[in-house]
Amino acid sequence: MRMPAAKESGVRNRLSWLLEMSLRRLRAVPGGDCMVRAAVVNYHPPTESVRSIAFAGRACPYLDRLNLPLSDLPGLDFGTRSGRYRIIHDIAQVGDNRARHVQALLEAGIRSSLTAAVPGLHEVGGFFFLNAEQPGAFTPDLQAAIRPRLDETLTLLRRELNRPITK
């Protein structure tokens, strides 16, 4: 069942605010100023698709309106469902760097990415992306430094994505 437009708008506004505040806090960590974008996509199990719902920081028009089958984004299915982060140290070196979503990231000046699954009620509820403008930005030291703030962001995103829809 599709969410009513007014409810969907409210969720998008709350998620945008949450991502903006989270990105500010993550950028405040020493070495975190390289992070330029945070985004979340919703996962819809019945159709096995993902859809962009909010972002903060650098705009990336193609990705800001993303609505694709999960199978078109095979990297999301690898590792992130297991609760680990997926780090791409150089997006230009990704397996199929001709894929439209990869080209969109490169065009926006994004070169490295951290992806985490957002737990749902019974399975993955969505995916969180944290992007940086330099290759290799997500060093082990930076990952350790941002981990508490990242975990907090994922908890808040989970709460928001699983909020009951009321009339």
pLDDT digits (tens, 9 = 90+) for 103-118: 999 999 999 999 998 8
For 4, 50, 146, the CA distances from 29, given in Å and listed in that order, are 38, 30, 7
Task: Tell me, yes or no, whether 105 lies in a domain.
Answer: yes
Q: Above pLDDT 90, what percent of the chain?
A: 53
Task: Tell me, yes or no, whether 106 lies in a domain.
Answer: yes
What are the beta bridge partners of residue 43? 50
The overall average pLDDT reported for the chain is 85
Residue with tokens 């709350």: 14
Taking residues 114-139, what's their average pLDDT? 88
pTM of the model: 0.87
**CATH number of the domain that residue 92 is part of:** 3.30.450.40
Phi-psi region of 109 (alpha: psi -120 to 50; beta: other; left: phi over 0): left
> From the centroid of its chain, how far is CA 61?
15
Task: Tell me, yes or no, whether 119 lies in a domain.
Answer: yes
* pLDDT at 127 > cutoff 70: yes
What domain range is 149 assigned to? 5-161
Report which residue type is found at 91.
I
* pLDDT in the model for residue 2: 43
Task: Tell me, yes or no, whether 51 lies in a domain.
Answer: yes
User: Is 92 in a helix, a strand, or coil?
Assistant: helix
Task: Tell me, yes or no, whether 167 lies in a domain.
Answer: no
* pLDDT in the model for residue 124: 75
Task: Tell me, yes or no, whether 32 lies in a domain.
Answer: yes
Task: Tell me, yes or no, whether 72 lies in a domain.
Answer: yes
* pLDDT in the model for residue 83: 63
Count of structural domains, the chain: 1
